[in-house]
Amino acid sequence: MRKRLSGGGDTVHLTEGEMAGLQDGDVAMRRLGGAAAPRGEERKMKIIDFEKKAGIRATPAFARKGLATHSCNVGFLCGHGCLYCSTPAVNRCQLRKACGMKSVTTSDGVAVRADPDAFVEAVSRDAKRMRPGLVELCTTVDAWSPEAQEHDLGRRCLEAILDQPGWTVRVLTKNIAVTRDFDLIEKHRDRVQVGLSITATARGETAMRALEPNASSNAERTLAMVEAHERGLRTFGMFCPLFPEIADRSIHDMVGFARSIDAEEIFMETVNMRGDNFPRCVDALRGAGFGREADTLAGLDGTGWSEFTAEAVRAMSAAARHFDTEDRMRFLLYPGRLTARDAAEIRQYGDMVKWLDNSEGEGGS
């Protein structure tokens, strides 16, 4: 068992000098990293192991997003405990069975992991018997979350998939523990893309700690992406979910950062209302002293979400022009709550926006 990272209480503080060493001459990178905020109150998780039959599954919804043809999810509820996570709404039935509770949310302090050894076997079996594609590890949970780290699930699943020819993997995580597996990814560098989702620059980092209690800080994730780039790994940018007052004014810097690490694709998405995730985030922000951020989020009902999203798409488009990344931008958009006027405006941004089906909202980040 390896020592847990992020979820085990480690905090990284960067000096000005250390940050300067990361610049590669790119000002955007300096703005994005900044100094790490103090870690928020980590939530202790009760871990439940639950049988999960499917190792790898086809995922038409993620194929439409342009993210992956298949998913590999190491459980049903992730121990990072992000309060905006929509997985509890998506995996409602399995969670009810696993926890014996009527409804489960990320605030209940429970992580539901796939029974580890049986799951790795299932991944290996599926990788052998299925027609290969691009598999995302993970789409609804996180293979480097604290409870997954206890059984090295990220690395073991990667090995099981990469052992079989033809598969490519999109690694998506909010935990810097993935850096310990960069040696494995290096050996298969053409077949793996690495992304640590980033939800704030230094400007919004402290507020995000209230919403992502057990994930690595955004500064740590940023550094991990720099490390991936420096080791010659393929990278993609995932800036999701964008919160008003926290991330919306950082879109320019986020796109600049992705450009500076040669991200092959850059995904963005504004926070979506699913289940009761909005009220939980509003309460947590207010409780942590972020009253303005809480008020703005609470005000996204009615036409507020539509206006916020249209503004984010505008900012994304301007940044993409500035950094010459229009060909790799993918703004993921569930249009159900867009006003007709905002929808008409957003259509002019063409292929940079991926229009999704509201009925297919999937979990995770």
Q: Which lies closer to ligand SF4 via its Cβ, residue 145 or residue 306? A: 145
Tell me the two tokens of residue 87.
């997985």
Q: Choose the binding region for ligand SF4 from 58-66, 78-86, 302-310, 314-322 (rule: CB under 6 A).
A: 78-86
User: Least CB distance from residue 49 to ligand SF4, whole Å?
Assistant: 17
- Which one of 56, 78, 224, 338 is in contact with ligand SF4 (CB under 6 A)? 78
The reply on whether position 328 binds ligand SF4 by CB under 6 A is: no
Number of residues that bind ligand SF4 (CB under 6 A): 14
Q: Please, what sign has the CA dihedral across residues 251, 253, 255, 258?
A: negative
- Asked whether 264 and 325 are in contact (CB, 8 A), the reply is no
Least distance CB 279 / ligand SF4 (angstroms): 17
Contacts of 334 (CB under 8 A, 6+ apart): 272, 356, 357, 358, 361
Shortest reach from residue 85's CB to ligand SF4, in Å: 3
Among 5, 36, 56, 82, binds ligand SF4 (CB under 6 A): 82
Q: Interface residues for ligand SF4 in 7-66 (CB under 6 A)? A: none
The C-alpha atoms of residue 190 and residue 219 are separated, in whole angstroms, by 27
364 binds ligand SF4 per the rule CB under 6 A: yes
Phi, psi angle pair for 274, to nearest 5°: -140, 135
Q: Which two tokens stand for residue 19?
A: 């940050």
Q: Which stretch binds ligand SF4 (CB under 6 A): 60-68, 73-81, 228-236, 330-338?
A: 73-81
CA-CA distance, 361 to 334, in Å (whole number)? 8
Q: Is 80 in the site for ligand SF4 (CB under 6 A)?
A: yes
Cα–Cα distance measured from residue 304 to residue 327, given in angstroms and rounded to the nearest whole number:
29
Q: Using CA atoms, how far apart are residues 76 and 114, in angstroms rounded to an integer? A: 7
- Measured in whole angstroms, the distance separating CA 146 from the mean position of its chain's CA atoms is 15
Identified binder of ligand SF4 from the candidate list 6, 87, 91, 216, rule CB under 6 A: 87
Q: Which is nearer to ligand SF4, 173 or 260 (CB)?
A: 173
Footprint (CB under 6 A) of ligand SF4, residues 158-177:
174
Residues 184 to 223 in contact with ligand SF4, rule: CB under 6 A: 215
* Residues near 79 by beta carbon (within 8 Å), at least 6 away in sequence: 7, 45, 47, 111, 113, 145, 146, 147, 148, 214
- Which residues ranging from 113 to 152 are in contact with ligand SF4 (CB under 6 A)? 141-142, 145
Which residues of this protein are in contact with ligand SF4, per CB under 6 A?
Answer: 78, 80-82, 85, 87, 106, 141-142, 145, 174, 215, 364-365
